[in-house]
Amino acid sequence: MSYPVSPLASPFPALPEIAGVVPHVVRAGYKDWGRCDLTYVTLEEGTAVAGVFTKNVCCSSEVDLGRENAKLGRARALVVNAGNSNAFTGYRGREAVEQIMEQVAAHIGCPKEQVFVSSTGVIGVPLPKDKAREGVEKALTAEPCSWEDAANTIATTDTFAKGAAATAMVGDTKVKISAIIKGSGMIAPDMATMLGYLFTDAAVEPGFLQACLSAANLRTFSCITVDSDTSTSDTVLAFATGKAGNAPITGFDSPGAHAFAAAIHDVCRQLAHLVVRDGEGAQKFIAVSVSGAVSDESARKVGMAIANSPLVKTAIAGEDANWGRVVMAVGKAGEPADRDKLSIGFGGTWAAQQGLPLADYDEAPVAAHLKGQDISIEVDLGLGEGTATVWTCDLTHGYISINADYRS
């Protein structure tokens, strides 16, 4: 963590322990750094698992195997390697992942498909098997650690540790969710993959856990962007131990299902925002709210076109209410839009409505809003009922410094 802490950082929250989940951290020494870099989390028998993964087709073996095994629905352990992403390493990379899965499975006495592995860091270098073997060996007998230790250990170029929690009433039972995440854009040579893990004591069928995670993903992780680039290793996994003792949630007909789904959504939203708040060079947190689209998905795509526009992001960095750049971004999204129905505002003040600049537009409240750290851009397409909110950060000299002003 050699970069200054993000001005948008949040302190690490108090995360409850989750029955059936025990985190540990050790030093495998993947890099020559004085910190733990291997996280090992044990999960009691019967734990359900669900996952969402990068759509990048050049993904790592960890993603290939995790995607395949999450479909089986059960997990007993998670191993996260920091410092080496093991991506673009061919069969040698895959062997290293399978070695870890086998080593942990042998110790626990479970099918190796129930051991999930993630790796983050430099790409193109196969994860060293000897270091992985020694690291895992230590981890298997390590003392439990705090959530904050685990959050720090999965991190690479993050400037602060990230966690979130929520609870939900399922029948008469209060279930808990604790979650950690890492990611801050994609900084080479350590590609700052987003890796997120949710742990809950709720009893949930894997199919419903997957439905909750997939739905939340669409409105949270799929709605954030730092620089439009997509890691080859992005992964979010949810684990449910069932130790809370609630009647298992099997679908939306089960008692508490909606509350549980809402809690998963809430945690995912918190985690997603934390990643944006650690965006490379970020000085401002930007929410782009799109309404009046022909569908929610269309609204999301328009929002992402705005949030990915270097011109919009630099305008916000410059505290400039440049609605013309927003018009441009709407128009290039490839989604239905009508110039003459378009309205654009900042911080709740319309600058243009129905395709025309407001005659009595008062820039003073907008200028004041743009000087703050939390910025909102509102866009109404005037076509339908579709809505979406996406989140990003501004594009600053800090981004260039982090990504260009180094030599590998």
Residues placed in the known binding site: 156, 182, 193, 280, 403, 408
Whichever of 42 and 89 has its CB closer to a copy of itself, that residue is 89
Six token digits for residue 189: 């040579």
Q: How far is the CB of 224 from a copy of itself (least distance, A)?
A: 15
Contact 191, 89 (CB under 8 A): no
Which of the following is catalytic: 193, 349, 389, 392?
193
* Cα–Cα distance, 194 to 280 (Å, whole number): 13
Determine, following the binding rule CB under 8 A, whether residue 372 of this chain makes contact with a copy of itself. Answer: no
Whichever of 214 and 401 has its CB closer to a copy of itself, that residue is 401
Q: Which of 7, 111, 124, 251 binds a copy of itself (CB under 8 A)?
A: 124
DSSP characters over 304-373: HHHHT-HHHHHHHHTT---HHHHHHHHHHTSS---GGG-EEEETTEEEEETTEE-TT--HHHHHHHHTSS
CA torsion sign for 177, 182, 184, 185 is: negative
**How many residues bind a copy of itself, per CB under 8 A?**
67
Whichever of 251 and 310 has its CB closer to a copy of itself, that residue is 310
Determine, following the binding rule CB under 8 A, whether residue 405 of this chain makes contact with a copy of itself. Answer: yes
Whichever of 246 and 349 has its CB closer to a copy of itself, that residue is 349
* Cα–Cα distance, 234 to 75 (Å, whole number): 19
- For 403, residues 6+ apart whose C-beta sits below 8 A from its C-beta are 187, 188, 280
* Cα–Cα distance, 262 to 127 (Å, whole number): 37
* Cα–Cα distance, 36 to 337 (Å, whole number): 50
* Cα–Cα distance, 382 to 380 (Å, whole number): 6
Q: Which residues are annotated as a binding site for substrate?
A: 156, 182, 193, 280, 403, 408
Whichever of 150 and 351 has its CB closer to a copy of itself, that residue is 351
Q: How far is the CB of 347 from a copy of itself (least distance, A)?
A: 17
Binding to a copy of itself, residues 245-304 (CB under 8 A): none
Active-site residue flag, 42:
no
Q: Which of 229, 362, 374, 385 binds a copy of itself (CB under 8 A)?
A: 229
Binding to a copy of itself, residues 145-204 (CB under 8 A): 186, 188-189, 191
* Cα–Cα distance, 101 to 146 (Å, whole number): 23
Active site residues: 193
Q: Which residues would be at the binding site for a copy of itself (CB under 8 A)?
A: 55-59, 87-90, 122-125, 186, 188-189, 191, 227-232, 308-311, 314-315, 317-320, 322-325, 327-332, 334, 336-340, 342, 352, 355-357, 394-397, 399-401, 403-408
